Amino acid sequence: MTITAEKIAALSFEAALEKLEQIVHRLESGEASLEDSIDLYTEGTLLKQHCDSKLKDAQARIEKLQIGADGAPKGATPFDAE
């Protein structure tokens, strides 16, 4: 049973990842029919996009602490993954 994009958008990262893992398991096991596999793949794609979006949002909020010469925090700068 597939869920709608609106329901996916309401999921937490953890819930979406769990659903995605279940879909991968079903697809890898071969227990789904061709039609079900197509629906699962579509739902999995939406879940992956949702998880990617949640991760990007979290990464944008992470700040890197700057430490002064005395070892004390002196401020924060936005996280730079590169």
Walk along the chain (82 residues) and give the pLDDT tens digit of each residue: 567 888 999 999 999 999 999 999 999 999 999 999 999 999 999 999 999 999 988 876 776 666 777 777 777 676 665 5
Structure tokens at 46: 């939406």
Which pTM does this prediction carry? 0.72
Among candidate residues 8, 18, 7, 11, the one with its CA nearest the CA of residue 46:
8
